[in-house]
Structure 1
């Protein structure tokens, strides 16, 4: 085997690539350590903390990471108990959140307390889908329309071709199919079980396209034509939904609003209207909410979700009403791609965090989704209460964000 110093010398001279280290070492861990030492020498820095971890990096390298040099650490806390009244989640839960933002977990915790005192959050999954939308080029607009009609008339054949590739994925529709000049954009819509399913639907869509091209002479420009819409904010996903579409609501008696949130139902309603609805509208925002991304991001990082989907989870609408003197408060999240198996959920820390909620493994994605929506409700409620009461700046100053 090549000596460590010789490998690092070749890396520094550009005579060896990072991914080639494994060919000259006896284990992936040895390669990892050499790669990190090379980076330390190249950047003239020390990665003492990056080098300390308990993850099984040999397993992680199979599906989760390339060119590893160690791991990072993010402070992890819990908020709760959060009382959920759902179809899949029923009871009280503590929610793990990975964040370095002071005051965030304290705020969510206050929301959890308010929800519990009000009897719990009513949560439902109102949509479940994962999408892939290729872009196809036709010979003319006439040919493009023919392809569109063929797709619409042969759904069962395309469904059969797609589902041959997967045990868990089901193609439920191809809609809409949009024609722009000679380009055709069909949106393949699947259910994917407990997996987030992005890889699953990509492979299945490719199989369906093989049939489509054979039958119509269409030319596939790209397997993803950005009409999916994956990892980007999108009005289409806001309306049609993607991943799990979730709604969580709570009715809070006036006396609890006054005691827990230090404000009134009417003040929360006005702040929500002025900030989340009108303020978002004049900004051209697709997120008519205060901080969905904060909670989605912290839970995603804790539980091994695809962090790029935080941008999709930031979409949504918060509503607030004064009803008979009490406060009705809800969050609607149309686009939350999550998983309890596969992907980053394989990592040991992610598994442990999911297990805090009894939400790891097969059959648990519905439960996890409802708890997540309840956590967003708690965080949103607390922040809106703080804004209505004028407490936001004080809380951040006291908890390290001054």
Structure 2
């Protein structure tokens, strides 16, 4: 078998599927047929969205309920393969409702690209030349997207950073208001357009011209309060706070702590056709901004003894452009949430991340994370063991009751049923 194929991208999807069937040992026609269900995307759009497409991969889409964000009740679509995520978010939203749900804000829709300049003899002098010509640079960038400029967005400012040690260079930040778009294509195009002018000003050479996914000028924040009575008392409040402090101090704990937060965030980002990798990269980089990797959330106790949680992280998401404007279900998911502005989506996503963290910490501080998670996971295990629709709930319940959520035990129960 060889994977070398000339102009594979020019073949039809049907031809690509047939090539796989022919060349991959053990692959059956029934398995290849699975790729011929194109769902809501349809065959044409599936083939257009990525190169060398052979089909689609379905991810379960659920609805988180009970959410109130900025005094507005919401149904929140979440795309994830992990069984407990949607239930956990819904549970946390229910806990926060008596205190008004989630209060969220954003710092705007500001993105920036980085232009790397090397070879300038006088770095500080070169920096001043760039700043002296700021308006001309911004005008040159502005011409790359007249529509964005007409709508009130576009280039806002220039920042210049100097790196003097090891590899001397200038880094120019082109700061852009991308409004309701995520904005990667816009800021990258603008960065490329101003590069020759920067070279002529400084005598240096431009190398990289690319967006930064550490979008710390585009932050989303959310806050919630949970009454101590709904957590079975201040002892649980204190336990959650102690668990939170563990994550703030230890990167080994923080990695799992923040992974749980991203369970919720990435599920909504994916459901709306936004870039999960960009959001995740920005979040984890932001968690390291103070010199060590730490928690994205903070949990404290109010004067009344109630639990108060907050989250702050970069949230570069949009509602126009990219897959968000093309994918039929992504567009519908945005509509389900009643979102009309990108900042609204960012506020919702941050709130879901905070909710996800609340449920995880509550579980860890009381019964342990596995009890609820394994209860939902048991259905997957039963299905893996061959349980049919009529018996899957029975098998799952028995696995949980026995405390043995394992495929081997599930197979024994399936055989007994048969």
TM-score by length of 2: 0.78
1:291 corresponds in structure 2 to 260
Tell me the CA shift for residue 340 of structure 1.
0.6
Counterpart of 1:327 (choices 307, 314, 323) is 307
Tell me the CA shift for residue 395 of structure 1.
1.2
2:391 corresponds in structure 1 to none
The reply to whether residue 253 of structure 1 matches residue 227 of structure 2 is yes
> Are 1:257 and 1:264, in contact at CA under 8 Å, matched by a contact in 2?
yes
Counterpart of 2:78 (choices 87, 97, 108) is 97
Distance 1:107 1:358 in 2: 22
> Are 1:263 and 1:385, in contact at CA under 8 Å, matched by a contact in 2?
no
What is the RMSD of the two structures over their aligned residues, measured on CA atoms? 2.5
Counterpart of 2:7 (choices 2, 17, 23) is 17
The reply to whether residue 303 of structure 1 matches residue 272 of structure 2 is yes
Distance 2:144 2:90 in 1: 43
Question: Could you say which structure has the greater relative contact order, defined with CA pairs below 8 angstroms and 6 or more residues apart?
Answer: 1
Q: Give the 3 Å change call, closer, same or farther, for CA 174–40 of structure 1 in structure 2.
A: farther
Counterpart of 2:334 (choices 317, 338, 354) is 354
The reply to whether residue 273 of structure 1 matches residue 245 of structure 2 is yes
The reply to whether residue 109 of structure 1 matches residue 109 of structure 2 is no
1:48-67 C-alpha deviation (Å, 9 max, x unpaired): 322201314434555x3112
The reply to whether residue 375 of structure 1 matches residue 365 of structure 2 is no
> Are 1:117 and 1:256, in contact at CA under 8 Å, matched by a contact in 2?
no
Unaligned runs of 5+ in 1: 1-10, 22-30, 231-236
1:85-107 C-alpha deviation (Å, 9 max, x unpaired): 1xxxx411111111111211111
The secondary structure found in structure 2 opposite 1:291 is: helix
> Are 2:130 and 2:201, in contact at CA under 8 Å, matched by a contact in 1?
no
Give the aligned length.
355
Distance 2:177 2:185 in 1: 13
The reply to whether residue 208 of structure 1 matches residue 179 of structure 2 is no
Q: Give the 3 Å change call, closer, same or farther, for CA 209–13 of structure 1 in structure 2.
A: closer
Counterpart of 1:65 (choices 38, 47, 50) is 50
The secondary structure found in structure 2 opposite 1:184 is: strand
The secondary structure found in structure 2 opposite 1:134 is: strand
Tell me the CA shift for residue 164 of structure 1.
0.5
Tell me the CA shift for residue 39 of structure 1.
2.0
1:158-212 C-alpha deviation (Å, 9 max, x unpaired): 1101010012152222224223344211122211011101010010111122222
TM-score by length of 1: 0.81
1:69-126 C-alpha deviation (Å, 9 max, x unpaired): 11110111111121011xxxx4111111111112111111111111112221111112
Tell me the CA shift for residue 311 of structure 1.
2.6
Distance 1:291 1:65 in 2: 29
Unaligned runs of 5+ in 2: 288-295, 379-404, 406-418
The secondary structure found in structure 1 opposite 2:377 is: coil
Distance 1:178 1:57 in 2: 50
2:23 corresponds in structure 1 to 42
2:412 corresponds in structure 1 to none
Distance 2:235 2:253 in 1: 29
